[in-house]
């Protein structure tokens, strides 16, 4: 452990203030990245969760050291870890196009709560290192993930089209490019009676001669196709 933090590991006014301020900074830094990407849980949410988790650990330690309440000191922290599942679940949504969004934000909220617990317990090194790794995962590793997804042999493609003939042309395009359709789900938009538009969700296995970007461009230019994602 770093000796610079040794004087701040006991429960004093200075150490309490330092822990709460440090947890606010860690939560705010991670939250800024989510806010920049316009996620539902952003700057203030991450601050409040990290700050609340730190205060939870401080309360457990205060009860044990000063109030002489010989209870399970980890009980409040365990409640935070379990309770974060409910908050995280609120950020996860399944869109009408069968796409799951919010998993990274939910995982980030759960992890930043652990950072708050660590800082509240005086484990500054672990909290700071974890906060830095969260930022690394969300900033740098996300680019690696996008690269892997762009070169993945299997993709999910959402196509919105006008009529059945447009769908037939899309299927013919897949056959011409020797692309295997692993699964196809056809649904309709809520306003389909107005514009007579339908949508299909394809699970495709690409070959090495066709990239995801090229396929999306070709499907977009197909007659009768309105939207591709």
Per-residue pLDDT of the chain (229 residues; tens, 9 = 90+): 778 888 888 888 888 899 999 999 999 888 888 777 777 677 888 888 999 999 988 888 888 877 777 777 677 888 888 888 777 777 777 665 556 677 778 888 888 999 999 999 888 899 999 998 988 888 887 777 667 666 667 788 888 888 888 888 889 988 888 888 888 888 765 454 555 678 888 888 888 778 778 888 888 988 888 888 8
Question: Closest Cα to residue 34, out of 43, 25, 26?
Answer: 43
Pairing of strands 198-205, 180-188: antiparallel
Pairing relationship of beta strands 154-161 and 180-188 according to DSSP bridges: unpaired
**Cβ contact 134:112 at 8 Å:** yes
Angle between helices 124-139 and 13-36 (to 10 degrees): 10
pTM: 0.67
> In the numeric block, which tokens belong to residue 20?
């709460």
* H/E stretch holding 36: helix 13-36
DSSP H or E stretch at residue 130: helix 124-139
C-alpha angle with apex 207: 202 to 210, nearest 5 degrees? Answer: 85
pLDDT of residue 25: 92
**Alpha-carbon span 182 to 212, nearest angstrom:** 15
Q: How many other C-beta atoms are found inside a 10 Å radius of the C-beta of residue 43? A: 18
Q: Which two tokens stand for residue 195?
A: 């514009």
CA 130 to chain centre: 16
The C-alpha atoms of residue 99 and residue 91 are separated, in whole angstroms, by 13
- The answer to whether the beta carbons of residues 179 and 204 sit under 8 Å apart is yes
Classify 126 as helix, strand or coil: helix
Q: How far apart are CA 209 and CA 199, in angstroms?
A: 26
Report the alpha-carbon distance of residue 41 to residue 104 in Å, rounded. Answer: 11
Under DSSP, the state recorded for 12 is -
d(CA 68, CA 89): 36
What are 190's two structure tokens? 């809520």
């Amino acid at each position: 452990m770093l000796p610079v933090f040794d004087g701040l590991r006991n429960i004093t006014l200075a150490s309490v203030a330092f822990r709460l301020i440090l947890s606010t900074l860690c939560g705010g830094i991670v939250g800024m990245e989510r806010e920049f990407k316009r996620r539902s849980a952003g700057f203030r949410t991450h601050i409040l969760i990290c700050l609340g988790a730190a205060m939870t650990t401080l309360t457990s330690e205060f009860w044990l050291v000063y109030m002489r309440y010989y209870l399970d000191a980890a009980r409040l922290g365990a409640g935070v870890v379990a309770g974060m599942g409910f908050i995280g679940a609120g950020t996860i949504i399944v869109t009408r196009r069968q796409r799951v969004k919010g998993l990274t934000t939910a995982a980030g909220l759960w992890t930043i709560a652990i950072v708050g617990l660590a800082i509240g317990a005086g484990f500054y090194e672990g909290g700071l290192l974890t906060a830095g790794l969260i930022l690394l995962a969300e900033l740098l590793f996300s680019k690696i993930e996008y690269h892997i997804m762009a070169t993945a042999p299997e993709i999910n493609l959402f196509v919105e089209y006008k009529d059945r003939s447009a769908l037939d042309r899309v299927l013919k395009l897949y056959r011409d490019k020797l692309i295997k359709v692993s699964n196809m789900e056809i649904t309709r938009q809520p306003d389909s009676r107005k514009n007579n538009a339908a949508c299909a969700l394809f699970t495709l296995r690409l070959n090495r001669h066709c990239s995801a970007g090229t396929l999306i461009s070709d499907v977009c230019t197909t007659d009768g196709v309105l939207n591709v994602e």
